[in-house]
Amino acid sequence: MANQKKRFRQKREKPEFDQKLLDLARVTRVVKGGRRFSFRATMVIGNKKGRVGLGVAKGTDVSVAITKAVADAKKNMVNIARTDSTISFEVREKFGAARVMIKPAKEGKGIVAGGAMRSVIELAGIRDITAKSFGSSNKINVAKATIKSLTMLEGKRSKPINKKKVEKDTIVDKRKIEKKEKIKPASDKSMAGEEESKK
C-alpha cells in the first residue's frame, strides 16, 4: 500500500501555469422574481518565463467561477519581453482610470510593487522592477494596465509621448515669439520722424 501511494505521488505533474486569485466578489443580478446571486473571480496565471494572462468570469459557485476565469486567462495569454531579470526601459500606460508606471531595477533590488501589479509581475517572471499605480485602485483595471505596459516592452520607443505637454509647449513658444515682435525697438526712420514733429 505504501509503495502504491508513493507511485501516485510521483505521477502528479506540476500545472503548466501558476495561478493567483486577484479578486473574488459576490455580484447580484436583479430579475423579475427577485435577485440572483453569483460570484465573480479574477485570476492571473503565468509560467514565470515571460507568459502571463488575466481572466474574469462569473459562476453560481466559487469553484465554478475560478475554473471559468482560469480558462479565460489562458485565452488572453501574452508574451513579455524581458532583459535578464528586469525590463529594458521605463513605460507609462493607462487602462480606464488606472495609470501605471514601471521602471527597470538593478539585480537584487526585487519587486517594488503592491497589490494587483505585484501579482502580474511575479507571474510574468520579472524579479527586479520598480512599479507604481496612480488614479483608480480597481484591481481589474490596474492588472490590465500592467499587462498593457508590459506588452509595450516589445516596441522600440522608450517612453510614450505626452501629446498634451507638447501642444502646451508649442503654444507657449508661439506666445513668446509674438511678445518679442511687439516689443521690437522702433526703427531709425520712425525716431527721426518723431524728432521733427517735436521741433
The pLDDT value recorded for residue 161 is 37
pLDDT at 171 over 90: no
The pLDDT value recorded for residue 153 is 83
Average confidence score pLDDT of the chain: 79
Which ranges in the chain are annotated with CATH 3.30.160.20?
A: 11-78
Split at pLDDT 50, 70, 90, the class of 154 is confident
pLDDT at 185 over 90: no
- CA–CA dist 153, 24 (Å, integer): 30
What percent of the chain has a predicted confidence (pLDDT) above 70? 71
pLDDT at 156 over 50: no
Query: Which pTM was predicted?
Result: 0.68
The H or E element containing residue 5 is: helix 2-11
DSSP class of 184 = P
Select from 3.30.390.50, 3.40.50.720, 3.40.50.300, 3.30.230.10 the CATH code of 80-154: 3.30.230.10
Q: What average pLDDT score do residues 8-37 get?
A: 82
The H or E element containing residue 95 is: strand 91-95
CB 96 within 8 A of CB 116: no
Least confident of 4-13, 23-32, 59-68, 92-101: 4-13
The pLDDT value recorded for residue 183 is 60
Residues 43-55: pLDDT tens digits? Answer: 999 988 889 999 9
pLDDT at 194 over 50: yes
Which ranges in the chain are annotated with CATH 3.30.230.10?
A: 80-154
What percent of the chain has a predicted confidence (pLDDT) above 90? 41
Q: What average pLDDT score do residues 69-94 get?
A: 89
The pLDDT value recorded for residue 160 is 40
The pLDDT value recorded for residue 114 is 84
CATH topology of domain 11-78: Double Stranded RNA Binding Domain (3.30.160)
Secondary structure of 9-67 as H, E, C letters: HHHCCCCCCEEEEEEEEEEEEEECCEEEEEEEEEEEEECCCCEEEEEEEEECCHHHHHH
pLDDT at 17 over 80: yes
- CA–CA dist 90, 92 (Å, integer): 7
Residues 95-122: pLDDT tens digits? Answer: 989 999 999 988 888 999 988 999 999 9
C-alpha cell at 33: 422574481
